[in-house]
């Protein structure tokens, strides 16, 4: 499927019935230093109330999916010491966890012996993958869907291998 024809994430998660897993492989996702939320975090050292409200659509989407019985898990592979962006992301992860996402972190050296796909992905019900593509500076490039059973199995296996080695958010210090 061409990236331009990928449905919005909300539609993909609405069709999900059992599980949605997300593997993140990058240390930065193109957030500009002039981004107001990021700048506020730098200033305060914590996630601001305005940032919480800005994240409300995502948090509501997670809560709705979890209330339908969808188990949402996210695993993040990160370099250590972590980047400033990852510290920012870690600071706000409590919101995702509070909404019902299960989140774990894996230091990159501990992932070195794992077979991993070359791009971030979401895997819905072990049947449909949405790959996310980013430029070298972390800027978003596009998405692509894939439902090839061999590729979905490869991604499911990769996610589970990361999940098994990773540390729950509550125990991971940055």
Tens digit of pLDDT for each residue in 93-136? 999 999 999 999 999 999 999 999 999 999 999 999 999 999 98
In a domain, 130, yes or no: yes
In a domain? residue 84: yes
The rounded distance, in Å, linking the Cα atoms of 50 and 79 is: 29
CA distance linking residue 169 with residue 126, whole number of Å: 23
96 C-beta neighbours (distance < 10 Å), count: 19
Average pLDDT, stretch 68-94?
A: 96
Pairwise CA distance, residues 130 & 128, whole Å: 7
User: CA of 160: how far to CAs of 45, 123, 129, 145, in Å?
Assistant: 33, 12, 15, 20
The answer to whether residue 94 is domain-embedded is yes
CATH number, position 62: 3.30.870.10
Tell me if 161 sits within 8 A of 114, measured CB to CB.
yes
Q: Determine the average pLDDT of the residues in 129-152.
A: 94
> Residue 3: inside a domain, yes or no?
no
pTM to 2 decimals?
A: 0.94
* 139 C-beta neighbours (distance < 10 Å), count: 12
Q: What is the count of structural domains for the chain?
A: 1
Domain membership of residue 152 as a residue range = 8-171
In a domain, 68, yes or no: yes
Q: Among the listed ranges 3-12, 141-150, 152-161, which one has the minimum average pLDDT value? A: 3-12
């Amino acid at each position: 499927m061409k990236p331009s024809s990928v449905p919005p994430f909300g539609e993909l998660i609405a069709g999900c019935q059992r599980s949605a897993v997300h593997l993140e492989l990058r240390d930065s996702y193109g957030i500009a230093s002039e981004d107001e939320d990021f700048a506020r975090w730098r200033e305060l050292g914590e996630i601001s109330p305005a940032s919480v409200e800005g994240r409300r659509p995502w948090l509501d989407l997670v809560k709705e999916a979890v209330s339908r019985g969808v188990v949402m898990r996210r695993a993040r592979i990160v370099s250590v010491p972590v980047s400033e962006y990852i510290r920012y992301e870690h600071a706000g992860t409590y919101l995702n966890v509070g909404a019902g996402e299960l989140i774990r972190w894996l230091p990159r050296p501990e992932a070195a012996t794992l077979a991993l796909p070359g791009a971030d992905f979401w895997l819905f019900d072990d049947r449909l993958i949405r790959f996310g593509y980013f430029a070298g500076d972390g800027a978003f490039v596009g998405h692509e869907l894939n439902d090839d059973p061999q590729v979905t199995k490869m991604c499911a296996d990769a996610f589970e291998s990361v999940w098994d080695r990773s540390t729950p958010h509550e125990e991971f210090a940055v």
